[in-house]
Structure 1
Amino acid sequence: MDNFITAVAAILYFASIAMIVPGVVNQTGIKTKAVFGSAVLALVFHAWLLSDLIFHRNGQNLSILNVASLTSFIVSCLMTASMFKARLWFLLPIVYSFSAINLVIAKVVPNTFITHLENNSTLLIHISFALFSYSTLCIGALYSIQLAWLDHKLKKKKSLAINPNLPPLLRVERHMFNIIVVGNALLTCTLITGFWFLTDMFTDGNAHKGILSFIAWVVYCILLWGHYQQGWRGKKVTWLSVIGAILLTLAYFGSRFVKEFILS
């Protein structure tokens, strides 16, 4: 049954992509309602698969692949909910591709990391903040990449050729900074709950997570300070946003990848 669910979810994601890409490339109309319907169904099947992969009788399987698939699911949900208002047609094919690939890999590659969140509510709170902060800041990084691309087209005197399906530059910039503000606030809560609730946050096996997460938090604070106090825009903002997302990726998935795949 899980194989069927995986196949249907992946097909629906790629169907959404297939309806978006021609409109972005050829500057034609996009069947927005069809895209939305296909994406919502894909998310339903994705959630169904995640429930089977994560929840077990003896605990929760929060393996690196399941967490990656859960993160891509959260990002896809948030982006799908905003597709009409924010005109995210440039970013959605990227997001849906990652979701489809992650769910297939999570199903095909056996991987286990059992934990017991039902017995540790404080850990559940910390993990929830971590998942949503990482997902939100990844969306911010995607926005920064879109912003850099739109800015490049404008500087190349191609403003008239910009696809009408794409949002205005200033709107993308405003949304990006709003997203990063929210994401950094969630990251702040992640660090506070980690320091407060986790006694092993700076042990040998976990120290790099806290250190890299804190460095990422500093990067985002510098980015926001530079924008709101110094008027930073353009490449500097894009690079800082991407660097912050990379640091969080290394913090959240680096050691898990080594432990679950290389060392095992």
Structure 2
Amino acid sequence: MTLLPALTSNPPAALLSAVAALAYAFLAWAHPRLSERQTRNVLATAWVLHLVVLGTALMETPARFGFAPALSVTAWLVLTVYLIESRMYPQLKARWTLAVLGTLAVLLALFFPGSQYHALPSSWMPLHWALGIASYGLIAAAVVHAWLMQRADKAMRMGDTGDTAMPLLTLERLTFRFVAAGFVLLTATLLVGAWFSELLNQRWVWNHKTAFSALAWLTMGVLLLGRWRLGWRGRVAIRMLYLGAGFLLLGYAGSRFVLEVVLQRAG
């Protein structure tokens, strides 16, 4: 797979992706000089453009999917969560980081649009993908909140907190809510994957994707159990979350990156 066909096979979609990436990049560059309302409007515009990019990709024939589109959808879901939460919690400040994330995600999907699927092996495959990406998005949102927790905790220790700072306990509560929701969807993803494997009369294959996904599920389960039974919080909980999210990233995006970019193989 070369980069040139990915950019020239659908010029309008490529142009739209470039505009969406530029909108995110503009926000990352200009947000210190923009008013609160202007920043919110630019972010909303970039979010809408990103959504149109994703919708255009879904309508392509044959369908494409891979590690970069998965990360692009994940980034869009994280931004969706942020846009909703920032309405309820105006103190939530992560726009520069999320703008950079959006820029990189859109550009990555532009250069690496994924493999073509002329025929899906099972009608359950889209559900499996949807559940997996949703779990990616929720756990990525938990990671962002955990990072904000660390930042708030550091500021509090240095006596650098202000009246507009997000309460640490609120961030912690939101983090574990996203972890719990992501764990539920990850469980459903694995169950649906096992189900349509049975429908196709295929045995459960312990490849890299399955192994890392199972490790992510186990790590998140232990984290939630430790939180419930032992009251885990702070650095221990955050490190467990980062570990589980790392396993999940390696489970699909990592294995697909190796196939599509390193080995240049489809499927």
TM range (shorter): 0.7 to 0.9
User: Could you list the per-position Cα deviations for residues 135-189 of structure 1 after superposition, in whole angstroms to 9, with x for gaps in the alignment?
Assistant: 1001111111211221122233x1xx22444311111011111111111111111
Structure 2 residue 233 is matched with structure 1 residue 233: yes
Q: 1:169 to 1:54 in 2, by over 3 A?
A: same
1:47 to 44, 51, 54: 51
User: Could you list the per-position Cα deviations for residues 20-60 of structure 1 after superposition, in whole angstroms to 9, with x for gaps in the alignment?
Assistant: 557xxxxxxx8333222212211221122223334322x21
> How do 1:150-161 and structure 2 match up within 5 A?
150-156=152-158, 158=159, 161=160
TM-score (norm 1): 0.84
1:88·1:166 contact (CA, 8 Å) conserved in 2? yes
> How do 1:99-118 and structure 2 match up within 5 A?
99-107=102-110, 109-115=111-117
Alignment match, 2:136? 134
Equivalents in 2 of 1:8, 1:2: separation in Å?
10
Q: Which runs of 5+ in 1 are unaligned?
A: 23-29
Q: Which runs of 5+ in 2 are unaligned?
A: 1-11
CA drift at 1:196: 1.4
Equivalents in 1 of 2:90, 2:214: separation in Å?
33
Alignment match, 1:14? 25
User: Could you list the per-position Cα deviations for residues 230-256 of structure 1 after superposition, in whole angstroms to 9, with x for gaps in the alignment?
Assistant: 111110011001111100000011221
TM-score (norm 2): 0.84
Structure 2 residue 71 is matched with structure 1 residue 68: yes
Q: 1:233 to 1:110 in 2, by over 3 A?
A: closer
1:125 to 127, 141, 156: 127
Which portions of structure 1, spanning 4 or more consecutive aligned residues, are displaced by more than 6 angstroms? Answer: none
Equivalents in 1 of 2:178, 2:203: separation in Å?
27
Alignment match, 1:167? 166
CA drift at 1:104: 1.9
Equivalents in 2 of 1:167, 1:116: separation in Å?
48
Equivalents in 2 of 1:249, 1:208: separation in Å?
12
Identity of aligned residues (%): 23
CA drift at 1:192: 1.2
Q: 1:117 to 1:192 in 2, by over 3 A?
A: farther
1:147·1:173 contact (CA, 8 Å) conserved in 2? yes
Q: 1:78 to 1:217 in 2, by over 3 A?
A: same
Equivalents in 1 of 2:145, 2:21: separation in Å?
24
Which residue identity does 1:37 align to in structure 2? Answer: N
Q: 1:212 to 1:148 in 2, by over 3 A?
A: same
RMSD: 2.4
Alignment match, 1:221? 221
Q: Which moved more, 1:167-176 or 1:46-55?
A: 46-55
Q: 1:243 to 1:34 in 2, by over 3 A?
A: same
Equivalents in 2 of 1:32, 1:228: separation in Å?
38
CA drift at 1:88: 6.3
CA drift at 1:70: 1.9
Q: Secondary structure at the match of 1:82?
A: helix
Alignment match, 1:37? 41
Q: 1:201 to 1:142 in 2, by over 3 A?
A: farther
